[in-house]
Amino acid sequence: MLFRSIVLALSLASAQAADDGLVRMKLKKRSAHEMVADHLKRENDALRLALENGSAPEVMDMAKKSVMLRGSNPEEDFEEQVQVAEGASENIIIKDYSNAQYYGEVMIGTPPQKFTVIFDTGSSNLWVPKTKCKNCGYWFIHGGKSKYDESKSSSFKKDGSDFKIQYGSGSVKGFFSRDEITLAKDIVVKDQKFAEVANAGGLGVGYVMGRFDGILGLGFEKLSLGGANTVFKNAIDQKVVSQPVFSFALGDNKDGELTLGGYDDSKFKGEITWVNLSEASYWLIDIDDVSVGRISSGKTNGIVDSGTSLITGPSAKIAHIAHSVGAKRDFMGQYHFPCSKVGDVPDLEFTIDGKAWTVPGEDLVIQAG
């Protein structure tokens, strides 16, 4: 089976079938400004609850850590936020909150149990939190996480082998099970091996604050733990998709779409550029060059990863680029840049298979200040 990578875009929520044989899944997107505002509201609500109860140190610690994402004086920012939570102040400066999310829905079990997941080409396993999962959110943040209850599914099959996966942001632990997975409204993948997560503590505040319950990996079997076929591989083998192709259409400050079984030519203009994979594990491709202004990487490679919000690279080279535009690094590894100087940021250019792809400089900065 030949897989090829499209130079992509992304999206997800309720799905619709079309006469062209494609299945489309809406991807919800949150704008940077919405995320910043909602994040701050959640922080204040959680902090207010802790202050009122006086018995929730883990909530205080969570709020304090998340404040540290935004500024160079976290202790001062935290004290100011305490004043906001207590009603003594109405103003807090949001310096930076570098995040963005696309998420959608899948169903597990019979009858179906609904979960919000990130569709992640950077991993290959499906996992969701189980009932009584530890460190799996709080009821006062988005109403808590949806949790899989195997006792309520007639199609559940016990596996029981251990599951532990490490992401860039931390690890999750649990065990494997098998059940039916429903994508969109009419793609049912039978006997899918997936993980019930019992502890998501390694993901920290990013998971607690995130609008997702779990992750559905769209990478290759080489990355998959426990010998599990990916959901999409099983969908292909069970012939519930018309072609071994999926595609993302990323929304620009709006929702996007994930198409299963092909691609939707109404989502783009011109011709698709196909790029061969250098390795079928991650969606790994060769890159001729990455350049910003006078800085050039030379030949390298990269992963097309729908599960991350940021462009990442080797620390030394990213630091060089950031320094060249006057950005300053904080202890969390994020770079801060004055919004008033966004117009001075040069374009970022990827050269892939001899063709240049340009990201405008202004799109490299989340303007949240």
Catalytic residue among 96, 120, 179, 213: 120
User: Cβ neighbours of residue 224 under 8 Å, at least 6 residues apart?
Assistant: 124, 125, 217, 230
Amino acid at 216: L
Burial of 14 (0-12, 13-18, 19+ CB in 10 A): exposed
Quote the CA–CA distance of 238 and 240 in Å, as a whole number. Answer: 6
Q: Distance between the two ends of the chain, CA-based, in angstroms?
A: 48
Query: 196: helix, coil or strand?
Result: strand
Q: Which of 96, 179, 213, 305 is catalytic?
A: 305
Half-sphere exposure of 26 (CA within 13 A, CB side): 9
Q: Is 1 exposed, middle or buried (0-12, 13-18, 19+ CB in 10 A)?
A: exposed
For 63, the token pair is 């709020």
Using CA atoms, how far apart are residues 117 and 217, in angstroms rounded to an integer?
Answer: 10
Asked if omega into 111 is within 30° of 0 (cis), the reply is yes
Active site residue 149: no
61 is known as an active-site residue: no
Residues known to be catalytic: 120, 305
